[in-house]
């Protein structure tokens, strides 16, 4: 079976460094918010290009923490997309705010700046652009719309570790930015983990307090916070893997080129890369009006294709009554066509050939499954 993503393969690729990192923590005797977390926060935030990083328990909690630090809460609205992981919207509701869902751009699957501007109301406090599939959102117009209105910009970078937009890494544009280190991510831990990064010292200081009960010193809560901490073992593993992130992303781009070369003349829509941007292909997502037949055929051939995401947020029962869901034609059209092909740095070329051969066969409109 060819997996859609394969975290174990990455562990095997960097086994000696990861095993050494885990042993280092086990032998240290310090397992929560110690030196490994401090160093990883420093190293990762420097990699992104901002001075502050705050390690937390997951990407969802990173978004929740960022919203709270920015003063977003009950009665506020936060604009984001419906074509995203549920975590984006769940975090907004965790903060007590109302998600307002807008449509995506047809070529890049990220927040449409025109739709964002049209959705702003007097209750809007923030926008969360999602850098989806490894593709940077169009940050220049988003910032130009948000900043004069005093809206906070919180980047959801869960699928875009290392992606570039106009010679700057995603995560360095907004007031705050949030990363997930779930095992399948481009930079993945061996369990849950996340981080908030920012260039603003006052937001960083508040994030440090809120992630641990609002403490300014142990057992002294200056404001109500909660418990969301990146543990030492995960931080040590991520430090080991961060050294390989750019090379791993280069491998992803090379695999994407192989897909493009083999499928460019086939009846599937291939992903595009925004001008002045670097896509890091967390997922390689194609579109086809024969998507369901292709998916069934690929799985019969032992190829683990998947759908990210089969039902947009506004189509899920828990979120069916959110504002903005009546005018999302691009999102609704795409959700029945998108298909994620296997993508991870260790994917062998022979498997890519097998995948593209199968896609070519099952995408053929003359074929009847």
Per-10-residue mean pLDDT, the chain, length 369: 97 98 98 97 98 98 98 98 98 98 97 97 98 98 98 98 98 98 98 98 98 92 95 98 98 98 97 98 97 96 97 94 82 96 97 97 75
Domains of the chain: total = 2
DSSP secondary structure of 55-80: EES-HHHHHHHHHHHTT--TT-EEEE
Are residues 336 and 189 part of one domain? no
Strands 52-56 vs 194-198: parallel, antiparallel or unpaired: antiparallel
pLDDT tens readout for residues 135-158: 999 999 999 999 999 999 999 999
Assess if residue 237 is contained within a domain.
yes
Is it true that the peptide bond before 309 is cis, omega within 30 degrees of 0?
yes
Please tell me the pTM assigned to this model.
0.97
In a domain, 368, yes or no: no
Residue 318 lies in a domain: yes
Strands 176-180 and 77-81, bridge-based pairing: unpaired
Torsion of CA 330, 74, 318, 152, to 10 degrees: 30
Q: Model confidence over 253-279: pLDDT tens digits?
A: 999 999 999 999 999 999 999 999 999
Is 278 found in the same domain as 320? yes
* Shared-domain flag, residues 127 and 253: no
- Element at 102 (helix H, strand E): strand 98-102
In this structure, the answer to whether residues 76 and 215 fall within a common structural domain is yes
Q: Whole-angstrom Cα distance, residue 29 to residue 41?
A: 20
Q: What CATH number did the domain enclosing 228 receive? A: 3.40.640.10
**CA–CA separation, 11 vs 169, rounded Å?**
25
């Amino acid at each position: 079976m060819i997996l859609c993503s394969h975290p174990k393969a990455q562990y095997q690729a960097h086994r000696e460094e990861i095993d050494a990192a885990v042993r280092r923590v086990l032998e240290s005797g310090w397992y929560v918010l110690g030196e490994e977390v401090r160093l990883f926060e420093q190293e990762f935030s420097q990699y992104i290009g901002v001075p502050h990083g705050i390690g937390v328990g997951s990407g969802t909690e990173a978004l929740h923490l960022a919203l709270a630090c920015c003063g977003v809460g009950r009665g506020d609205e936060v604009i984001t997309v419906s074509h995203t992981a549920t975590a984006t919207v769940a975090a907004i509701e965790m903060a007590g705010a109302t998600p307002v869902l807008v449509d995506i751009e047809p070529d890049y699957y990220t927040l449409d700046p025109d739709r964002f501007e049209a959705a702003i109301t007097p209750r809007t406090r923030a926008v969360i652009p999602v850098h989806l599939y490894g593709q940077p959102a169009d940050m220049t117009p988003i910032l130009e719309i948000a900043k004069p209105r005093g809206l906070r910009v919180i980047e959801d970078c869960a699928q875009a570790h290392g992606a570039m937009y106009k010679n700057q890494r995603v995560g360095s544009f907004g007031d705050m930015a949030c990363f997930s280190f779930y095992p399948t991510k481009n930079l993945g831990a061996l369990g849950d983990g996340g981080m908030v990064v920012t260039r603003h010292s006052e937001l960083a200081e508040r994030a440090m307090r809120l992630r641990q009960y609002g403490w300014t010193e142990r057992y002294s809560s200056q404001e109500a916070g909660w418990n969301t901490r990146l543990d030492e073992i995960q931080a040590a593993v991520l430090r080991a893997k961060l050294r390989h992130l750019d090379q791993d992303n280069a491998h992803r781009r090379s695999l994407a080129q192989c897909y493009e070369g083999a499928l460019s003349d086939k009846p599937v829509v291939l992903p595009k890369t925004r001008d002045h941007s670097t896509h890091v292909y967390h997922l390689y997502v194609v579109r086809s009006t024969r998507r369901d037949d292709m998916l069934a055929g690929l799985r019969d051939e032992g190829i683990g294709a998947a759908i990210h995401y089969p039902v947009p947020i506004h189509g899920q029962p828990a979120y069916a009554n959110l504002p903005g869901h009546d005018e999302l034609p691009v999102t609704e059209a795409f959700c029945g066509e998108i298909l994620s092909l296997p993508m991870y740095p260790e994917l062998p070329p022979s498997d890519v050939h097998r995948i593209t051969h199968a896609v070519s066969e099952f995408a053929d409109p003359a074929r009847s499954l």
